[in-house]
Amino acid sequence: MPIAAGVAVCTGVGYLFYLRVNSIELETRSKQLTDFVVTHEQPQRLIREQLELRESERAEDLDRRLHDTEEELELEKQRKADLAT
């Protein structure tokens, strides 16, 4: 058990040493990754919003066409009823 504890301590110390030595490079990479995520998230959000807008416009168009068709059908029924009388 003491050997495992020694290995764990050495591993932890080694990792801390690695972080200290490479902190500037790690910070630079972190900033690059953050910039990448931010710059790529915004276009994705805009694309998603445009798709949602198109879908809602398409739904409104379909609803309007359905309403127009229902009105035409009602008028046709009235004409047939008028002709029958």
State the average pLDDT over residues 79-84.
Answer: 88
Give the model's pLDDT for residue 1. Answer: 60
For residue 25, give the amino acid letter.
E
Q: What DSSP state is assigned to residue 85? A: -
| Model confidence pTM above 0.75 | no
* Parent domain of 70: 2-84
pLDDT of 9 over the 90 cut: no
pLDDT of residue 69 exceeding 90, the answer is: yes
Which pLDDT value is given to residue 14? 78
Cα separation, 71 vs 77, in Å, equals 10
